[in-house]
Structure 1
Amino acid sequence: MGERLLDLYDALLLDLDGTVYRGKQAVEGAAGAVEAARDHGTTVRFVTNNASRSPRDVAAHLTELGVSAEPAEVSTSAQAGAAVLAERLDGGSEVLVLGTAALAAEVTAVGLKPVREATSTTRAVVQGLSPDLAWRDLAEAAVAIRGGALWVACNVDVTLPAERGLLPGNGALVHALRVATDREPVVAGKPATPLMAESVRSAGAVKPLVVGDRLDTDIEGAANADLDSLLVLTGVCTPHDVLTAGPGSRPTYLAADITAVTQGADALRPGPKSGWDVRADGGKVRVSGDGDPLDLLRALCAVSWAADGPLDLGDDHPAMETLGLTDPR
């Protein structure tokens, strides 16, 4: 099997929704994978773009789902946003908070003063998702930002997965302020680097591995921070998405789920795989052979990423259908 991922990395930076859990259920095998990492001496950090909950609440939620977690193991975009503010402001500066009490608490924790109304002494605005955010809050932020206040967005995720489907995320409201102020925020969460940097610092890691289900946040965020990454297919990303990923959002490893952290690293790398012959022929992918469909996907990635342009993936091999790659997109 060769060296396992746990043998190569001293910390796992784990995304949550779509990676460790889906909705109200833990991903099968997630609890065991986390415990295997701890038993091996690998540090675990749960890294979330969600700025609405405190580390204590996140840890409690994970524990309820059967994945043991401590508040100190949680890194949130609220913490990263507060760290960005602390680097750029004098102690005691007023910060207008658009977000929950958890975000305000992180602002307080770094020695700044959270407020809810813009005044002449407001030095910054920090924006995180809150279900109670209203027009009046956005108006206060617009006044402060137009007045020269530093603007920090905890994340710019346009949508938020929920039981009823995709709902407006923090990024949708950030965009509203962009339009209203003609300004751009400093972004703290993935794929920007502050949250990754805070997670690495918190873990005391020298060589961490990012594990996530989204190319546009987890994998791109890892690339931006010059970190290796493992993409899992238990959340947002589909086989088609990973095949068509741009150079800045291609994972180092590819697996079905988080249990892959206990598996051999070489087997998880995109590239040629035993049992499969994959080649590009006149702009069309040709597939022959037999074996694990995920190995086929890894081989397809190598061919697709090396191509000069998009390839026709319409090969009728049964494994292509298993991967969902035969239907028109």
Structure 2
Amino acid sequence: MADSTELPRTRPAGSAQALSEAYDTALLDLDGVVYAGGVAVPHAVDALRVARGGGMRLAYVTNNAARTPETVAEHLTELGVPATADEVVTSAQAVARLIAERVPAGAPVLCAGGVGLRVALTERGLTPVDSAEDEPAAVVQGYGGPELPWGVLTEAALAVNRGVPWFASNTDLTIPSGRGIAPGNGAAVEVVRIATGHTKDPVVAGKPLPPMHRETILRTGARRPLVVGDRLDTDIEGAQAGDVDSLLVFTGVTDPATLLTAVPEHRPTYLAADLRGLLTPHPEVLPAGDGFRCGGWLATAGPDGRPEVRAVEGAEGGDPLDGLRALCAAVWTAGGVDDRSWAAGALGALGL
């Protein structure tokens, strides 16, 4: 198991054990990791079944506040991943806890979101209301889907302008959908921010911020958690903020070029093509001459930061992800690179 305190990370870590054996609980993002547009990501169902069968606990952690844990669990079970509501943790639950800690029991809360957010507030003993005229003790925004009425944003803005404390489940500007990338809750938050003169900021609970990690640990009791996600700015940054290890999978938002150009707080502990990466050991990345070697690949970064990778003589290259691991080590150790064309050039040698 990697030492998550060794930051900033300068290379992906190795693991002699399968990650499902090295960690007791996988804290899995959903969109782009387990499913995309309501359909299971390739290999996800089988990989999660094997991981669970081997004793790893699974928790599904999502910034999407629109659906209840029961609805999410039913969807997962329909996809072939048996899940119960208590294995699902949402940003709606995290923000509801934050609000309940700051307002009186039973207080009215103006809810600008979907059913998942309303249920989470009710479970914390709060009273969801719909109007700024209901004298809310707080305003909370959470993703409500494309059917979220414009009028509810008006009510939220009116209340925030009156000085009512403002909360948001998360501020993801976009969310994956079956038809492509759609506006997320962060876009709705920006509408209210604009209407309030850009002078206020909500208290935010979701990934990558600590309240979401706290909610996840409280609900799962994980002792050796591994965060699994597809987004650097929520999943991986959230893992670092929580001082736990992470696995990045390339089935969602992040591509290899984005990983190579990642800032220190966005660098994962491990990387894999998909959730099958939970079931295998991960190779070490080792210094080799003026670069780094992983498997059959040797990577270097020149004085200007331009990365290069080549097959080790006699090794015939091998797994392209080993080459990516070596490239990450070379680039990150050299201080990073922000030129995606350089990253793309090096990745072309790997077919990535």
TM, length-normalised to structure 2: 0.86
Q: Secondary structure at the match of 2:237?
A: helix
- The whole-number CA distance in structure 2 between the counterparts of 1:193 and 1:316 is 35
How has the CA–CA distance of structure 1 residues 269 and 246 changed in structure 2, closer, same or farther, with 3 Å as cutoff?
Answer: farther
Q: Is 1:196 aligned with 2:213? A: yes
Q: How far did residue 73 of structure 1 move?
A: 0.7
Alignment correspondent of 2:254: 237
Match of 2:349 in 1: 319
Q: 1:249 aligns with which of 243, 266, 278?
A: 266
SS of 2:132's equivalent? coil
SS of residue paired to 1:272: strand
Contact 1:26 1:67 in 2 (8 A): no
Offset of residue 96 of structure 1: 0.3
Counterpart contact for 1:151–1:185, Cα < 8 Å? yes
* Conserved 8 A contact 1:252-1:269: no
Alignment equivalent of 1:45, drawn from 59, 68, 91: 59
Q: How does 1:13-92 map to 2 (within 5 A)?
A: 13-92=27-106
Q: Which runs of 5+ in 1 are unaligned?
A: 324-329
Partner-residue secondary structure (3-state), 2:133: coil
| Percent identity for Structure 1 against Structure 2 | 49
**1:132-168 CA-partner distances (Å, limit 9, x unpaired):** 3233211211122122222111111111222222121
* In structure 2, distance between residues paired with 1:140 and 1:173: 13
Task: Give runs of aligned pairs for residues 211-226 of structure 1, distance below 5 A.
Answer: 211-226=228-243
3-state DSSP of counterpart to 2:299: strand
Deviation at 1:266, TM superposition (A): 4.2
How far did residue 318 of structure 1 move?
5.7
**1:27 offset after TM fit, Å?**
1.8
Tell me how large the CA RMSD over aligned residues is.
Answer: 2.1
Relative to structure 1, the CA distance from residue 117 to residue 316 in structure 2 (aligned partners, 3 Å threshold; closer, same or farther) is closer
Residue by residue, what CA displacement relative to the aligned partner does 1:58-105 show, whole Å, maximum 9, x if unpaired?
111111112221111111111111111111111111100001122111
The 10-residue stretch of structure 1 (119-128 or 263-272) with the greater mean CA deviation from structure 2: 263-272
SS in 1 for 2:201: coil
Structure 2 equivalent of residue 259 of structure 1: 276
Note the C-alpha offset of 1:218: 0.8
- Residues 1:286 and 2:286 are matched in the alignment: no
Q: Take 2:181 and 2:345, find their aligned partners in 1: how far apart are those partners?
A: 32
Shift of 1:269: 10
Residue 99 of structure 1 is matched in structure 2 by 113
AA of the residue aligned to 2:319: D
Is the 2:36–2:176 Cα contact (8 Å) retained in structure 1? no
Match of 1:9 among 19, 23, 26: 23
Match of 2:9 in 1: none
Query: Is 1:274 the equivalent of 2:274?
Result: no
1:319/1:291 CA distance change after superposition, 3 Å: farther
Correspondence for 2:164 among 111, 126, 149: 149
Aligned partner of 1:301 in structure 2 is 328
- SS of equivalent to 1:177: helix
Larger RCO, structure (CA 8 Å, separation 6 or more): 2
1:222 deviation in Å? 1.0
Q: Deviations over 1:173-213 (max 9, x none)?
A: 10111122221011111111212221121111112000001
Task: Using the TM superposition, name which of 35-44 and 136-145 deviates more.
Answer: 35-44
Separation in 2, partners of 1:268, 1:74: 34
Q: Deviations over 1:211-259 (max 9, x none)?
A: 0011111111111111110000011100000000001110000100111
Give, in whole Å, the separation in 2 of the partners of 1:314 and 1:164.
Answer: 26
d(CA) in 1 for partners of 2:219, 2:132: 32
The worse-fitting range, judged by mean Cα deviation, of 182-191 and 161-170 is: 161-170
Distance of aligned partners of 1:105 and 1:24 in 2 relative to their CA distance in 1, 3 Å threshold:
closer
5+ residue gaps, structure 2, are: 1-14, 312-316
Residue of structure 2 aligned with 1:159, choices 163, 166, 174: 174
| 1:314 Cα deviation after fit | 6.1
For residues 141 and 336 of structure 2, the distance between their equivalents in structure 1, rounded to whole angstroms, comes to 39
Matched letter for residue 29 of structure 1? H
CA deviations on 1:290-322 (whole Å, 9 max, x unpaired) are 1211100000001111123526346578633x1
